[in-house]
Amino acid sequence: MLVLLTAAAEDAAVPPPDPPKLEAIQLAAPRTDAGMPLMKALKERRSTRSYAETALTDRQLSELLWAANGVNRDDGKRTAPAALNRQAVDLYVVLPGGTYLFDALAHRLEPVKAGDFRKATGGQEFAARAALALVWVADLAKLSDLGERARSVTETQKIRWALIAAGAQSQNAALYCASEGLGNVVRGSIDPDAFAAAVPLRPEQVVLFAQSVGVPGPVPLAR
């Protein structure tokens, strides 16, 4: 018994291993002359709630994020509109190996936290199976210095601006998915507090919604 207790004490004294360190992911340049015609992509756009446990290719990940809110002009402006061009929406990319923040100017994923937090992006079973989740987060700090305009702009208005931008970005992503044969669904079911604690987020960041993206399952439930 003494031997067992001693062994247990020694095991308890061993510190847990350090979590794996995430590295930034430099995304390849997107193909801007590829994909199906816009009208056909609109026809094919749908919400999918069944996913295969299959990763996106590096090219698909790059083009998905560029479509959502990538730089499409020499002056640094984006594929989606943003109030005052403040870019007050942070796009978190939740992959099986970790959570990243999309840096559109560098077209790169910046590491945030190692671990699989897909389940924290929604309560539905498929949220943890899809290849990734995009989480749209308003960063109100980016709308804090508005000069004279600040006196008339409420926090509700700032969040409305962010929701308009995030809505445009998520539809861009959905149309890319339609063009590429991928599934996606925009979800308001994310628990903001759970995701904010898991990542974590700063107090001035507000979770808006999430979007699952992946290869459709064998019997996709779409509408």
pLDDT in tens, 71-128: 999 999 999 999 999 999 999 999 999 999 999 999 999 999 999 999 999 999 999 9
Rounded Cα distance between 211 and 223, Å, is 15
Residues 101/24, Cβ–Cβ less than 8 Å? no
Q: What pLDDT tens digit does each residue of the chain (223 aa) get?
A: 545 545 555 555 666 565 568 999 999 999 999 999 999 999 999 999 999 999 999 999 999 999 999 999 999 999 999 999 999 999 999 999 999 999 999 999 999 999 999 999 999 999 999 999 999 999 999 998 887 666 678 889 999 999 999 999 999 999 999 999 999 999 999 999 999 999 999 999 999 999 999 999 986 444 5
Q: In what order do the strands lie in the sheet with 108-114?
A: 25-26, 108-114, 98-103, 89-95, 132-139, 205-214, 183-187
Q: Are 169 and 68 in contact (CB under 8 A)?
A: yes
What is the domain partition of the chain in residue ranges? 2-214
Among 42, 34, 56, which Cα is nearest to 212's? Answer: 56
Which 8-state DSSP code applies to residue 94? E
Cα(107)–Cα(65) distance, integer angstroms: 8
Give the predicted TM-score (pTM) of the model.
0.88
Residues in a beta bridge with 113: 99
**Could you give the angle at the alpha carbon of 182 between the alpha carbons of 195 and 99, nearest 5°?**
25
Q: Whose CA is closest to 153, among 84, 81, 65?
A: 84
Residues with Cβ < 8 Å from 12, sequence gap 6 or more? Answer: none
Helix residue ranges per DSSP H, the chain: 2-13, 38-44, 58-69, 155-180, 192-198
Distance between CA atoms of 153 and 148, rounded to whole angstroms? 10
> By C-alpha distance, which of 140, 162, 144 is closest to 83?
162
What is the CATH number assigned to the segment(s) 2-214? 3.40.109.10
Distances (CA, A) of 38 to 64, 172, 219: 15, 11, 26
CA dist., res. 124 & res. 105, Å (int): 33
